[in-house]
Chain A
Amino acid sequence: MANAFAVELRNVVKRFGDVTAVNNVSLQIRQGEFFSLLGPSGCGKTTTLRMIAGFEMPTSGEIYIDGEPLGYMPPNKRPVNTVFQHYALFPHMTVEQNVGFGLEMQGVDKAEIRRRVGEALEMVKLSGMEKRRPKQLSGGQQQRVALARALVNRPKVLLLDEPLGALDLKLRKAMQMELKALQEEVGITFIYVTHDQEEALTMSDRIAVMDEGVVHQVDEPENIYERPADRFVADFIGETNFIPARVVQLGPPVVVEIAGRVRVPAAWAEQGLSEGDQALLSIRPEKINLYEERELGEAGPTTARVEGRIQQMVYVGTDTRHTVRLADGSVLVARLQNIHTEEEPWTVGERTIVEWDAAHARVLRV
């Protein structure tokens, strides 16, 4: 079964009464991958994770681990382990007993449990804490115990449900790096649920972006950011401009009309659009430049230009957000880095030419 996916979901649906929490989700997660389920709260990501763990059974569809269908297999028979959101450490047991619990339940002999618990605690840098109770540990330490308690069983897949959510920002950043390093070290497939896009982008090999029970895009972090598949993904990940547009030509090249009659090229148009449709041109604020007319260079075939007036400028440290109003009243934001040169800053009300490269512009359905 070496070629099989670590975890595969085929057309999985989960309904709670009238509510459809997960709607026809299919996912293929590769061996040894750090895979994130990303989405706002209530998007179905945790339910998906709980179905893989066996705490919830799919209403329809099937889940496979290493190519084997799981069916109604109870959680205690599944070769996966979970790191819970609030760790779920057993308060009446010591750290050692917590970490050894899974091995004990599997009937591993005492000496072996001792050895492996010791190893696991060493791996998460908690040696010497064996006899402590969860209450006597800091949040970060509890998090490590939860991690050790899951990993000590050498699961085929480790499921993590917002494991860093309860930690403060600084500790969270440190743990992100540590978790990623740990995953590479043990080589176990991680499925990581989070609503924090930065966390997902930093740690994952691939990300599935979910909303309202549906997977919108499965891709590598860079593609998720640079090439969002639809409006939800573009909007949910980072900041973006949605400029009302009309499709002129589906191409290639794709051409749309914005700000009244200005035609601009774009890199890609979403499936299902046809010529003449109303659409949105999506472009990230940092991909946009502002020029005075006299500064303009030669326009290439992929250069997009449109005229506007500076409406507002907000200084935000590394860059300044320039809000530009186009002829038809639509508004876009350009983030210009604050690299101090002799250039004159813009003033509110000034006329400007907005320019970007079509490679960064995507036409999405409204």
Chain B
Amino acid sequence: MNDANRSHDRLARWRASLGGWILSGYGVLAYLFLYLPIVILVVFSFNDSRSTSQWQGFTVDWYYAMFDDRQIILSLWNSFFLAVVSTIIATVLGTLIALGLERYSFRGKTAVDSMLYLPVIIPDIAMAIMLLIFFNLSGIGFQPWKVQFFGVKLAVPYSVIIAHVAFNISFVAIVVRARLAQMDRTLEEAAQDLYANSWRTFRRITLPMLMPGIIGGALLAFTLSLDDFVITFFTSGAGFNTLPVRVFGMIKKGVTPKINAVSTLMLVVSLSLVFLSIIMRRRGGDDEPIQFGF
């Protein structure tokens, strides 16, 4: 009887550890699936050949080629300018609307609330053609904003800036609202109890406590703006390129390691932004699991 029990016991233990091994093995495979394509992409940006599938030796020539390409550099500046401007506007508007919706009740709040979520739900192709028609019909927007940005002369259509603000407001508002919702309201009451008027309560308590949320929202907006291809592509009119739009055009013409080099550059920028947002969250004393706007 004891023997039977013991062998049953061993079988159960073996099955449990087998399950654990299968799960771990699957986990490793899943992460390989996520990372391998990106790693291969980066590796072939250093390939000493026009091929992106056969390794011919190491070179950084494609990076030289990238930085020599005036079009790429210009589109890089366009991307940054667009991201900076649209992030600033979207962050201000998004923070205000988040405060209004989270802290006050008024008629029409539900309608405003639903309107705020629509740009997040609607796929970018739908939003892109909506805005394309709108700018065409209204006749506003396609003329460029001519501006000096860090000494570089840029011409960025207002339509693209407006489009980026339009999809970023909602993301900023959602992030800021989440922060507001988990904020302890008695802190504001305590400030009022200690003779602070509404403005000073906001300035000294609400805003500092909200700052990690606002910065998180701004970083999200900045990333989304840098990454956007579809909406920019449709709303910019002819002749204006951001880096993703430029890359799309290059891909359509053919695959070269130069695209891999540009991709690697964009990858580095995205990674830096992710780590920056993690650092900001840590500073904000936020120990919550990483959410990135979800």
Contacts and interface: CB of A to CB of B under 8 A. Distances in A.
Contacts of A324: none
B45 to A, nearest CB: 44
A102 interface: yes
A138 interface: no
Given A90-B205, A91-B209, A92-B208, A106 B193 contact: no
Contacts of A55: 189, 192-193
Contact of A74 (B192, B204, B205, B285): B192
A328 to B, nearest CB: 52
A86 B190 contact: no
A90 B203 CA distance: 13
Interface residues of A, number: 26
Contacts of A80: 193
A92 B195 contact: no
B209 A82 contact: no
Interface in B106-125: none
A105 B187 CA distance: 15
A52 to B, nearest CB: 11
Contact of A76 (B187, B197, B205, B209): B197
Nearest to A102: B194
Contact of B285 (A54, A90, A91, A149): A91
Contact of A88 (B189, B195, B201, B204): B189
B150 to A, nearest CB: 34
A51 to B, nearest CB: 13
A149 B191 CA distance: 11
Contacts of A91: 187, 209, 285
A84 B195 contact: no
Contacts of A77: 195
**Taking each of A81, A82, A88, A90, which has the highest tally of chain B beta carbons within 10 Å of its own beta carbon?**
A88
Contact of A101 (B189, B194, B208, B285): B194
A40 interface: no
A211 to B, nearest CB: 25
A75 interface: yes
B174 to A, nearest CB: 23
**Taking each of B194, B195, B200, B208, which has the highest tally of chain A beta carbons within 10 Å of its own beta carbon?**
B194
B193 A81 contact: yes
Interface in A98-113: 101-102, 105-106
B74 interface: no
Contacts of A86: 184, 186
A153 interface: yes
**Taking each of A91, A105, A150, which has the highest tally of chain B beta carbons within 10 Å of its own beta carbon?**
A105
Interface in B44-97: none
Contact of B190 (A54, A90, A92, A153): A90
Given A90-B187, A90-B191, 7 more contacts: A54-B193, A75-B192, A76-B196, A88-B190, A91-B209, A102-B195, A105-B197
9 contacts: A54-B193, A55-B193, A76-B192, A81-B194, A84-B189, A84-B190, A88-B184, A88-B189, A105-B191
